[in-house]
Amino acid sequence: MFDIISDWGSCVSPEGVATLSCIPVVLQNIINALIVIAGIVSVFMIIYAGYKYVMSEGDPEKISSARKTLVYALAGLIFIFLSFFFLNAISQITGVGQLAPR
């Protein structure tokens, strides 16, 4: 998990003082962490939707609720993948490699 955190050494001066070049590093670390956390939450929501579906006992209302949960969780997962794709595309187009999650 700690592989998502980028190197801080490039933005800290030899005296140990943070410089303005730390801003892209901080943003990259935040983006990387949020994408990982959102992916984990999406997977747990998909598992929860499956649990709701199994425990619905044939009740159409509960089945509908489980199906909605699954659709929203899958939509969230697709949104995460699209955000990863768009961040990579923007970083390639603009030449700012710091925005792209690793």
Give the pLDDT score at 29: 78
The pTM score is 0.70
Three-state SS string over the chain comes to: CHHHCCCCCCCECCCCCECCCHHHHHHHHHHHHHHHHHHHHHHHHHHHHHHHHHCCCCCHHHHHHHHHHHHHHHHHHHHHHHHHHHHHHHHHHHCCCCCCCC
Give the pLDDT score at 49: 95
Give the pLDDT score at 101: 57
Q: How far is CA 78 from CA 63, 69, 74, 85, 99, in A?
A: 22, 14, 6, 10, 19
Domain ranges, ordered by start, for the chain: 2-94
Higher-pLDDT residue of 55, 96: 55
pLDDT in tens, 32-73: 888 889 989 999 999 999 999 999 998 999 999 999 999 999
- Token pair recorded at residue 32: 């990387």
pLDDT in tens, 79-92: 988 888 887 788 77
Give the pLDDT score at 99: 58
